[in-house]
Amino acid sequence: MPAKISHDRGPDTFRREFTISQIDHFAVGGSKATGARKHQVWNPSTGEVQAEVAIGDAELLQRTIDAAKTAQPEGAATNPQRRTRVMFKFKRLVEANKQVLAELLSGEHGKVVDDAHGDIQRGLEVIAFACGIPQVLKGEYTQGAGSGIDVYSIHQPLAAMMNKEMVNIALETTLDEGLPAERRIFQILTAIEDKGEGMAAFVERRPGEWKGR
């Protein structure tokens, strides 16, 4: 909730009241989760306190993790077309509120408003790129790449794809034929970027962040 603060200046006690806002955490479906501790946010241009931000704790972090786990299955099942609609709506909201956002940016970073508008525009360019992500997610298909050959590519985790290929090879070949194929696959997998991420994730006991290359 906003709170009024009295501000005294000079020997004549110039008194002015201004309102500071409370910056809360929105963790579970938009519900507020205000922390017990707070930290002041200053306006760099004036040096005045303009807001208070709630500092999170372990309980709030766990609530956020639980909410993310609950939302993940539905989010993962949402097709690219629906995701793009959300991004286009986000873009329209930013465009409709450019002045408000620029003033907020100016108040928090000490920039002039015109300069802040430039930052908003660069942010819009990033959002515009995200609106076209479904095209980037698509694979490729080339008909007639060779004599009687069509070529296609799909985006999948490379290691998982290679494991499936190795299982299929093992079912269809002898041991003598399968070992060279296994060696070839190991050579491919040890040359990709995800190899280093896999080793780091194993050592740090965390899920891997795969790039598929």
Residue 184, token pair as written in the block: 């070839």
Q: Which helix (H) or strand (E) holds 151?
A: strand 149-153
- Cα separation values, 44 from 75, 100, 110, Å: 38, 18, 5
pLDDT digits (tens, 9 = 90+) for 51-66: 888 888 888 888 888 8
pLDDT (0 to 100) of residue 139:
67
Residue 80, token pair as written in the block: 């690219």
Alpha helices in 97-174 (DSSP H): 98-109, 113-131, 133-137, 158-172
- Please say whether the beta carbons of 39 and 23 come within 8 A: no
Supply φ then ψ for residue 8, to 5 degrees: -105, 140
pLDDT (0 to 100) of residue 95:
94
Q: Per-residue pLDDT for 83 more than 80?
A: yes
Task: Count CB-CB contacts under 10 A for residue 116.
Answer: 22
Instruction: Sketch the domain layout of the chain as residue ranges.
Output: 1-77, 78-153, 156-213
- Please say whether the beta carbons of 40 and 48 come within 8 A: no
pLDDT digits (tens, 9 = 90+) for 18-38: 466 777 777 665 556 666 788
Stated pTM of the model:
0.54
pLDDT (0 to 100) of residue 30:
58
Fold of 156-213: Lyase 2-enoyl-coa Hydratase; Chain  A, domain 2 (1.10.12)
27 vs 209 pLDDT, higher one:
209
